[in-house]
Amino acid sequence: MRTIKGPAIFLAQFLGDQPPFNTLTDICKWAADLGYIGVQLPAWDSRVIDLKKAAESKTYADELKGIVSDAGLQITELSSHLLGQLVAVHPAYDALFDGFAPATVHNNPKARQEWAVQQLKYAAKASYNLGLNAHGTFSGALLWPTMYPWPQRPAGLVETGFKELAARWLPILNEFDKYGVDLCYEIHPGEDLHDGITYEMFWQHTNRHPRACLLYDPSHFVLQCLDYLEYIDIYHERIRMFHVKDAEFNPTGRQGVYGGYQSWIDRAGRFRSLGDGQVDFKSVFSKLTAYNFPGWAVLEWECCIKHPEDGAKEGAPFIKEHIIRVTDKAFDDFAGTGKDEKFNRAVLGL
């Protein structure tokens, strides 16, 4: 077993136009002062990284590492969630997702997809230049509008969708493999990879690609009524990243999983700050530790009630308290009799 690294914080939800949230130097100092020792960088946000430059210049990548290190932190991973989303977009969402891409590719789905694929390939090389071994993203979705089977799905539609999704991702996965970086899909509603079964279908269509791994975030499973602890038992060998995010699900006689088109504050399922929701983090950390999870525990804050700065302040000690320092001893070593083959055979009557 190994001790999970952390606490760390995903910076995406905290970056802004005012100090200390508008530069990498200042936000790293802010995070360090709160007790974090790692930061996860959103690859699409130019306030903290020029992704293309980080891919093409080892010198620039070293400069980024230096800025983070000067604050007493490490870069845990890069995230390309908004970029991965654009690898596969159903036409129903074209207008909504154009905002994730530069204006030069708006109203041009083919160009937007090509741009996104190139960004993911930059992310693979940038991760390598930064000395990272895992990267987080979304799968995108071709099938999500047909998630609920009404109207009835045409025969073969799901198979066709996953074949196409895998075909779009295989060149990207191969690029990550080239640089020795695991590509970790966050299993998330709105993505074609939104639970264990959909991940398995995708993985099969990529010929069980060794780099097609998982980012574990229990909050999305609470909102789906999925067993997030058994999920670790099933998929622990594929889990390479961990977002520590809380959630609650309180169904009523008026609404359930689908939320009735309500805003987050009025939904039965809501994201919450750490400790304010229903996730059993003691069990989560215990299982990940027992299964030798190799990565970082990274706060992702998305609470619909609490102020983000308070959520970040509370998050560092919460994660630190849940990280288990693994033992190098067995509890009953004191009663051991040592190893003696002759004695062992005598005990067995041999």
pLDDT, residue 329, reads 73
- The tens-digit pLDDT sequence of the chain (350 residues) is 899 999 999 999 999 999 999 999 999 999 999 999 999 999 999 999 999 999 999 999 999 999 999 999 999 999 999 999 999 999 999 999 999 999 999 999 999 999 999 999 999 999 999 999 999 999 999 999 999 999 999 999 999 999 999 999 999 999 999 999 999 999 999 999 999 999 999 999 999 999 999 999 999 999 999 999 999 999 999 999 999 999 999 999 999 999 999 999 999 999 999 999 999 999 999 999 999 999 999 999 999 999 999 999 999 999 999 999 998 776 666 556 677 888 889 889 99
Predicted pLDDT of residue 331: 61
Q: At what angle do helices 157-178 and 109-129 cross, to 10 degrees?
A: 40
Tokens representing residue 56 in the block: 């093409």
- In single-letter form, the type of residue at position 276 comes to D
Quote the pLDDT of residue 333. Answer: 62
The structural domains of the chain, ordered by start, are 5-347 (3.20.20.150)
pTM of the predicted model as reported, rounded to 2 decimal places: 0.94
